[in-house]
């Protein structure tokens, strides 16, 4: 009886071990490979799975979710011999767990070395200025190269991001000084352009003022000439009237010209700055008489017209 109990316990334990070795629960986001006598047979999907105990075993546990690989910082020499330190991160996803398990050994380490090698290749072919200003171009080039290289491993590289590119401190100081000099140069250029525009505006204003002055002087000269012309016409008419009067035998008309010249001479004498006292000569009475004669001449000229 005792032996039967022991045998039953051994049988139960053996069944429990068999069930334990045959039953496997695969988590969501993972796929496991099954190997029989060391050879791949099938892939276990997420959920409840059974295998042949003591014959089959779990080979590789692959995570099929997108994973993040932190690439170690490394120093890179640019095309213009500048030493920089780079830091990157890689995002990838296992799309074929069979090839990811049996086409490459230690997938994360292989991915990291591959990314580091391509970073040195891509950045080493660029100059420092292009390296610092074309981050998107670098990321695209790295993604294309690494994704192509990892395709036989059943891995899809989704993104590669260069997180930081750090030049040496002395080079950073030199770049800062260069940027400061370029900004000062642009400021001087803008200042010079502003002064030039101001000088042009001032010159244009002066030119416009001179044009307006010239036009004003021309208009004044034109008006003055027109006034002289009218004065000459009036003088000519007066001369014609006096000449006609003389021709008609009026002797007082001759005194018109003498009186006019005499009055002009007296006006100039009176307007002189040096003359303080003006003495009228005795001939002033003759001038007055001439003026009276001119008055009579004009009245006589008006009477026939009336």
Q: What is the pLDDT of residues 71-126, one digit of tens each?
A: 989 989 888 888 889 999 999 999 999 999 999 988 999 999 999 999 999 998 88
Angstrom distance (rounded) from CA 230 to CA 228? 5
Average pLDDT of the segment spanning 174-193: 83
Lowest mean pLDDT among 79-83, 162-166, 238-242, 300-304: 300-304
Two structure tokens written together for 194: 């502003």
64 vs 100: CA distance, rounded Å: 10
What pLDDT does 160 receive?
A: 93
**pLDDT at site 269:** 58
User: With bands split at pLDDT 50, 70 and 90, how would you rate the model's confidence at 306?
Assistant: very low
The answer to whether residue 302 scores a pLDDT higher than 60 is no
In this model, does residue 197 exceed pLDDT 60? Answer: yes
CA triple 214-215-219, angle to 5 deg: 115
Closest CA to 284 of 270, 298, 301: 270
Confidence at residue 10, expressed as pLDDT on a 0 to 100 scale = 79
Please identify which residue in the block is written with the tokens 């042009």: 200
Q: Are the C-beta atoms of 157 and 91 separated by less than 8 Å? A: yes
More confident residue, 189 or 13: 189
Under the banding of pLDDT at 50, 70 and 90, the label for residue 256 is: low
Q: How confident is the model at residue 52 (pLDDT cuts 50, 70, 90)?
A: confident
Q: For position 15, what pLDDT does the model report?
A: 77
With a CB cutoff of 8 Å and minimum separation 6, the contacts of 287 are: 259, 262, 263
Residue 180, number of CB atoms within 10 A of its CB:
10
Q: Which H or E element spans position 166?
A: strand 155-166
Q: What is the pLDDT of residue 260?
A: 63
Judged by DSSP in three states, 274 sits in coil
Q: What is the pTM of this model?
A: 0.55
Buried b (16+ CB within 10 A) or exposed e, 224-254: eeeeeeeeeeeeeeeeeebeebeeeebebbe
Q: What is the average per-residue pLDDT within 10-30?
A: 83
- pLDDT band of residue 282 (cuts 50, 70, 90) is very low
217-239 average pLDDT score: 77
For 33, other C-beta atoms within 10 Å of its C-beta total 20
Mean of per-residue pLDDT scores for the chain: 80
């Amino acid at each position: 009886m005792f032996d039967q109990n022991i045998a039953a316990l051994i049988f139960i334990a053996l069944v429990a071990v068999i069930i334990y070795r045959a039953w496997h629960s695969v988590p969501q986001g993972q796929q496991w490979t099954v190997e029989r006598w060391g050879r791949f047979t099938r892939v276990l999907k997420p959920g409840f799975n059974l295998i042949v105990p003591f014959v089959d075993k779990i080979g590789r546990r692959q995570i099929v979710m997108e994973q993040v690989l932190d690439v170690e910082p490394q120093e890179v020499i640019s095309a213009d011999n500048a030493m920089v330190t780079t830091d990157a991160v890689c995002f990838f996803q296992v799309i074929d767990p069979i090839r990811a398990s049996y086409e490459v050994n230690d997938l994360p380490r292989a991915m990291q070395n591959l990314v580091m090698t391509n970073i040195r290749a891509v950045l080493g072919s660029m100059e420092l200025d292009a390296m610092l200003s074309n981050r998107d171009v670098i990321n695209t080039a790295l993604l294309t190269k690494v994704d192509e290289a990892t395709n036989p491993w059943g891995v899809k590289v989704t993104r590669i991001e260069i997180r930081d590119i750090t030049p040496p401190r002395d080079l950073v100081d030199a770049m800062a000084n260069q940027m400061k000099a370029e900004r000062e140069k642009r400021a001087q250029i803008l200042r010079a352009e502003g002064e030039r525009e101001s000088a042009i505006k001032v010159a244009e204003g002066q030119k416009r003022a001179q044009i307006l002055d010239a036009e004003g002087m021309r208009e004044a000269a034109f008006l003055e000439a027109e006034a002289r012309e009218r004065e000459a016409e009036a003088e000519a008419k007066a001369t014609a009237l006096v000449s006609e009067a003389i021709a008609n035998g009026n002797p007082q008309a001759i005194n018109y010209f003498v009186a006019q010249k005499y009055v002009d001479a007296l006006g100039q004498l009176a307007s002189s700055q040096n003359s303080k006292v003006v003495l009228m000569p005795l001939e002033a009475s003759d001038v007055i008489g001439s003026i009276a004669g001119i008055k009579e001449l004009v009245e006589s000229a008006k009477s026939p017209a009336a």
